[in-house]
Amino acid sequence: MVSEHVSMFEVKRSVLVDACCSMHVYRCTHAAAPMLWCMPVHVDLCLLSVAFGLIVVGPVPESSLFCFWVGLLLGGYIMQRSCLGLLEVCCALNSSLGALAEAIGMPCARITEAERFDTLAGLRLALAHVEAMPGCDVWVSLPCTVWTTWTYVNQARLGSSFRARLAYGRRRSLRMARHVALVIEAAQRRGGQGHFEWPRRCIGWLRRPVRAHCLRQGLLAADFDGCRFGVEGPNKLPALKPWRVCTSRETVRLALDGVRCSGGHEHGRLSGAFASRSVFYPQALCFTVFHALLLPPSAVALGGCSAVDLLRTQVFVGGDRERLHRLRRWRLETAVLGPPPAPPIGPQDADTGSPSQFPLDGDALGRGCAILRVWVRAVDGCSAPFARYAVRLAAGEAPVRSGRLRDLLPLPRADWRELTWPDLVSKSVRPLLGRALNHTLAGLNWLHAGGRAVAVPRAASAVQRHAMGMLLDRLLLAVSVLGESETIPDSSGAFFSATGGVGSGRYPTLVAKRVDVPLRAGLVDPLPCCGEAATDILSDHTQLFPAGLASLFQRVEYTGGPRAEYVQLVCRQLRAGKLILASSADAAANIFAVGKASSDRLREVWDGGPLSELCAAPPKPPWQASPAALAGLESSRDRPLRICARDAAAFFDQLRLPAHLRRCMGRPFVRAGELLKTGVAGALGFTPAELSQHSLDVGGHDFELELVPLSQVWPMGFAWSSFVAQSTMLEAVVASGVGHHQLLCEEALLPPVYETAVSIATDDVVSFTRLSDEELAGCPLSPLADLDASWRARGIEPKKEKCYDFATSAVALGVLIKSGIALCPRSSRLADALLGGADLLAGLRCSPARLASFAGLLQWMNLLNRPLYSCLHATFAFARLPDDHLVQGLWTSVVGELVLNLVLFPLWVIDLCADWLDLVPATDASPAYGYGMCIAHAPPWLVRAGAAEAHGEHFFVLEGKDGVRQEVKRTGRRVDFPLPMSAFKPTFSIRARTIKHSGALEAEAAVLGLRRLARCRRNLGRRGLFLIDARAVECALRKGRSSAPTLRRPLMAAAAVQLAAGFRMRFGYVPSELNPADPPSRGVRTRPRDRRPVDITKRTKLGLSHHMRSKRDRWARPSSAVSSPESSSSGRSRILFELGLPVETSRTF
């Protein structure tokens, strides 16, 4: 039968290629794709074509082209659809949605006006339909006549009789709303979802029962305009028809939300027959809704070419066919089709968007609380102003503010008894964890207020409770990781251990056996990998050292520890070929040892600072990865990151140094007698004949002859060595088939989602691949298998004990990847930070050098969340004091900054499963007026594509009128963003209170924009793109801090909002003339004022008071509208009682 159907249509290659760009043809990801032709759909004809990995399945009846589109776009998902039936409430007998459901064979039922849904009989009928169709969705469209804005005019014109009828109609409508809540609850218990549709400007949305219903059922609002779906008025002009659907199904929300009018056409007015006709949904809207209903929840996953993304592009931008075609091509070029993610287990919390619980270890959590208790006690005993404020907040003694608070900050005190705790958290440690959480909340409040105490609200709002829940999740994971360390919970001497040891020296004592030395050194020539310009400099001694080397020492003596250990190390390095002996050197420097964090091994470092000051400035190491780059990774619970790692053994020792630079890399001298077997070297020494073979220009050797060891490899400690090593490793990685778009770097594109991302950090190469357990079982080779071959071809020796494949928890770049879904500091470094901070608070004395070392530890972990950099300012000034080894008392401001940074340690935990916002905000400020903000709704994939370009020096160019882009002259990379300026709608236009510097105004506008975004729970914990037209402010926000006095305090406030809300913003620069927020910042209203008619009774002095009007409306009603149990305040309980259902006495609707 399949061949018979296929033979009726000749499908050519060109047709399928055109369909990929001009139509929506999706790659079929179902295992039973070849059997899609037998799906239970009533069709006249079936077309099946398998070519190039694409499946096109659909009904093609000759009578309706619309049915062909339905089959084409729904066919690939019928076998794995999510919605199993449809119940329409308050619809017509011939409703469009029901007709479409019947056309594709889906069970469908209708509750029309004849069934009287406002009565108990209508409610019982609806509940019976839900029980008969398990898994069905409920679509509700209550009559909205009594909630239109025209009722304001009618109340003023028609008098008390109309107001009485209106009050009765509204009570009847609210009764139906309560019935709707019961029906949707029943559908959700049976595996279905609910959808509630009303006009967007309907007054009923503001009623408390309706809002409570949407909150209780987890309904998310999706706003869209009817003109984008074909609603027409007189003369075939598109009609605006603003709609709103509150839905609990994420695919429906993504498909409809933000599909707003582009503003490029004239609207017709709906009245008379056209208004009656608009009650029926247009075919385009029915198709969009049904396609979203049939999509599985896995289609919402970002990164792949999901059907929801392609569906929204059909109606997102609007305008001519060329712009739409260009947007689809942008999507196909920026997304990579990948295997479908596994279906999620259990219901999804789409309303709050709260992150799932991180994996915790109960035993480790208990051990971590022992270390946490030491830190909390240190904060309680600190006398710094911030510490006192944190203690007062945790004790409930902080000043309390009155009035309504719509913003997220300041956060109130969290009572540990009211928090939701996982079962594995013991009740005995909950007060301690609650106190630590309050310290974190105090830190966010202090940061938001610019470094001062602030009054907090009495109780937490819904968005604040959600934010505190996210912070608690991070705190629990951080404490669990803290318990994985083997550190003893004692702060005595912890600060000196964390900053290089308790001894008098800054570095550990050299032990020759603990230093790694390769078997053969200098086998890799790195110059061909460094680029033509760098190779020319390194090959010419005069270009590399333009000022000469006359000012440097040519002979130095070793002073870093026991001389015998140094001589033995020189012998080992001579045998490996790392060093060669000479009678003199052009420049010499000492060496010192540095401990490795992961083991007791030592790393030898050459003190090349003086030589580096005289050489030409080296380029920045290319594609250098950092913890900030790892924070850009994306993961999911069902497809976590799998980590593969390769480590080159003593990589600097494998890179050969040019011969003309050897005499510039001299080391402390040794005597010939010390290198012999009879000397200090002992068994590691040489015979006189062997010693001659390792000498450059010395024949016979006198025992007292001083010889200078010269380096034959690029020494660690010279300015150019890092660039040379990184360039060599980069060339080897690229030669293995890794593209530059896959490389992780903070100044580069975001890493790919469905491809392997690779980080290069000198000698470490780590790959990150998203794989489910099933995909891992079918993946025989490591993503770094080609890199192993590339290393063998170049002679690079790996360190096999540090190479592994497909680990979900591993350490990369000094950061712990936890279960493939979260980033956090290593347990040992986290313990060093907290215990070291507690030790420092006990003494409050330190040298600038020690403090600089401790601040470096904090800054490395702050790279995971860059806004934390705004905590430190005076600390850097103290670390730059001239006598850096003089122990002195810490400044009070320094103590406060260190405590502030450390109490925010839960924010070092990064959730890699964070979603992307579905909007793009833009802010601007003008000294002539004040602040402005605009927001454009956009698909998450488009937001991610724009955020990926927000790096380095760039500027965004938006589409103007009719899709024309304005030519602007700016330095940097031009990014043509496929988003029209008409898609941005004004959010606020606020007059500035005082005249300030333009940079300060721009920063404050960004703070206001972030605060406005943080008011919505759905936005918390998400990534996004934020546009701004001030380069200095954009760079400062991207960096996390600024030393400029005008920007310091606004950046602290911006950091506090981002940290509290869990935002992961990528800030992009847009030219001022293209910034859609420029008119609101100048006080220009881009949309007309609301000319809504005013109730004249509220304007006259003789008009009734609010109290009297409410009494009049309550009694002036038709005689038939007698009091009923359903309309009373306890109507929900009475309805449940009469239906025989259990009454919920603990909460009201």
Q: How much is the pLDDT for 912?
A: 94
Give the pLDDT band of residue 21 (cuts 50, 70, 90): very low
Contact 1034, 1068 (CB under 8 A): yes
In the block, residue with structure tokens 């709608």:
985
pLDDT of residue 1122: 36
| Range in 753-767, 895-909, 981-995, 1118-1132 the model is least confident about | 1118-1132
User: Residue 504: pLDDT band by 50, 70, 90 thresholds?
Assistant: very low
445 vs 402, more confident: 445
pLDDT class of 252 with cuts at 50, 70, 90: confident
Which amino acid, 881?
L
Q: Give residue 1089's pLDDT.
A: 47
Residue 258: other Cβ atoms inside 10 A: 21
How deeply is 146 buried, as exposed, middle or buried, from its count of CB atoms within 10 A (0-12, 13-18, 19+)?
buried
Q: Supply the pLDDT for residue 1135.
A: 57
What pLDDT shows up at residue 423? 87
- Chain centroid offset of residue 708 CA: 53
For residue 674, count CB atoms less than 10 angstroms from its CB and return exposed for 0-12, middle for 13-18, buried for 19 or more: buried
For 540-599, where are the alpha helices, taking DSSP H only? 541-544, 563-576
**For the chain, what percent of residues have pLDDT higher than 70?**
80
Residues in CB range of 1108: below 8 A, 6 or more apart: none
Question: Is the per-residue pLDDT at 594 higher than 60?
Answer: yes
CA–CA separation, 1103 and 997 (whole Å): 49
d(CA 555, CA 1058): 54
Question: In this predicted structure, what is the pLDDT of residue 149?
Answer: 83
Tokens of 115: 């069934």
C-alpha angle with apex 687: 682 to 692, nearest 5 degrees? 125
Task: Band the pLDDT of 62: cuts 50, 70, 90.
Answer: very low
Query: What's the pLDDT score for residue 868?
Result: 96
> Above 70 in pLDDT, residue 73?
no
Q: pLDDT tens-digit profile of 840-869?
A: 999 899 999 999 999 999 999 999 999 999
The helix (H) or strand (E) run that includes residue 1133 is: helix 1131-1138
Percent of the chain with pLDDT strictly greater than 90 = 51
Query: Pseudo-torsion of CA 935, 938, 944, 946, nearest 10°?
Result: -70
Task: Give per-residue pLDDT as tens, 509-524.
Answer: 888 889 989 989 999 9
Q: How far apart are CA 1020 and CA 915, in angstroms?
A: 10
Task: Identify the residue with better confidence: 3 or 100.
Answer: 100
- DSSP 8-state code for residue 132: H
Q: Which residue has the tokens 């493939």?
A: 820
DSSP 432-492: HHHHHHHHHHHHHHHHHTTSS---B-SS--HHHHHHHHHHHHHHHHHHHHHTTS---S--T
Mean pLDDT value across residues 154-170: 89
**Residues 1094, 156: Cα–Cα separation, whole Å:** 8
- CB distance 86 to 281 below 8 Å: no
Q: Using the 8-state DSSP alphabet, how is residue 60 labeled? A: -
Rounded CA Rg of the chain: 35
The pLDDT of residue 501 is above 90: no
What pLDDT score was predicted for residue 506?
59
Indicate the pLDDT class of residue 1025, thresholds 50, 70 and 90: very high
Are 467 and 411 in contact by the 8 Å Cβ rule? The answer is yes
Question: Token match 């049915």: residue?
Answer: 67
CA distance 422 to 480: 13
What are the structure tokens assigned to 1076, written together? 């859609």
The total of other beta-carbon atoms located within 10 Å of residue 950's CB is 21
Token pair listed for 49: 């074509």
Question: Is pLDDT at 359 greater than 70 in this prediction?
Answer: yes
Q: How many Å apart are CA 455 and CA 436, to the nearest integer?
A: 19
pLDDT of residue 994: 87
Looking only at the bridges linking them, the beta strands covering 242-247 and 220-225 are: antiparallel
Give the pair of three-digit tokens for residue 722.
């890092």
Is residue 512 within 8 Å of residue 560, measured between CB atoms? no
Instruction: Pick 237 or 898 by higher pLDDT.
Output: 898
Looking at 337-341, 724-728, 830-834, 1063-1067, which range is the least confident one? Answer: 337-341
Separation of alpha carbons 55 and 128, rounded Å: 39
Which string of DSSP letters, residue by residue, matches 135-156?
A: T-EEEE----GGGSTHHHHHHH
Helices (H), 278-429: 283-294, 307-316, 321-334, 362-380, 385-394
**Average model confidence (pLDDT) across the chain:** 80
- Tokens in use for 60? 């093609």
Evaluate if residue 5 carries a pLDDT over 60: no
> 404-425, pLDDT tens digit by residue?
889 999 999 999 999 999 988 9
Predicted TM-score (pTM) of this structure = 0.68
Supply the pLDDT for residue 30: 31
pLDDT in tens, 598-649: 678 888 999 999 999 999 999 999 999 999 999 999 999 999 999 999 999 9
Tell me how far apart the alpha carbons of residues 977 and 985 are, in angstroms, rounded to a whole number.
17
Other residues' Cβ atoms within 10 Å of the Cβ of residue 464: 24
pLDDT in tens, 1074-1116: 999 999 999 987 654 444 443 433 333 333 344 434 433 433 3
Residue-by-residue DSSP string for 259-286: B---S-SPPPPP-THHHHHTTSPPHHHH
**How many C-beta neighbours within 10 Å does residue 1124 have?**
13
SS3 content of the chain, % helix, strand, coil (to 5): 45, 15, 40
Q: Amino acid letter at 713? A: V
pLDDT single digits (tens) 645-696:
999 999 999 999 999 999 999 999 998 888 887 677 777 888 888 888 888 8
pLDDT tens string 269-324: 776 666 767 678 888 888 888 878 877 654 544 333 333 444 443 333 333 444 44
- Token pair 């309805």: residue: 1135
Backbone angles phi, psi at 844, to 5 degrees: 60, 25
DSSP secondary structure, 287-303, as one string: HHHHHHHHS-GGGG-SS
Q: Cite the DSSP H helix spans in 27-64.
A: none
β-bridge pairing 86-89 and 137-140: parallel
Q: What is the pLDDT of residue 50?
A: 27
The tokens of 757 are what?
A: 């991302």
Q: What is the dihedral of CA 1029, 1033, 1038, 1043, to 10 degrees?
A: 170
| Residue with the larger pLDDT of the pair 597 and 448 | 448
Q: What is the pLDDT of residue 335?
A: 39
Which residues of 1042-1101 form beta strands (DSSP E)? 1064-1069
Encoding tokens for residue 748?
A: 């580069």
Residues 735-782 have pLDDT tens digits of 999 999 899 998 888 887 778 999 999 999 999 999 999 989 888 889
Tell me if residue 806 falls in helix, strand or coil. Answer: strand
Whether the pLDDT of residue 1068 is over 80: the answer is yes
**Nearest residue to 181 via CA among 243, 244, 248, 135:** 248
User: Over the range 620-636, which residues count as b (16 or more CB within 10 Å of their CB) and which as e?
Assistant: ebbbbbbbbbbbbbbbb
Mean local confidence (pLDDT), 488-506: 72
Q: From residue 22, give the alpha-carbon distance in Å to each of 49, 397, 610, 664.
A: 17, 64, 63, 64
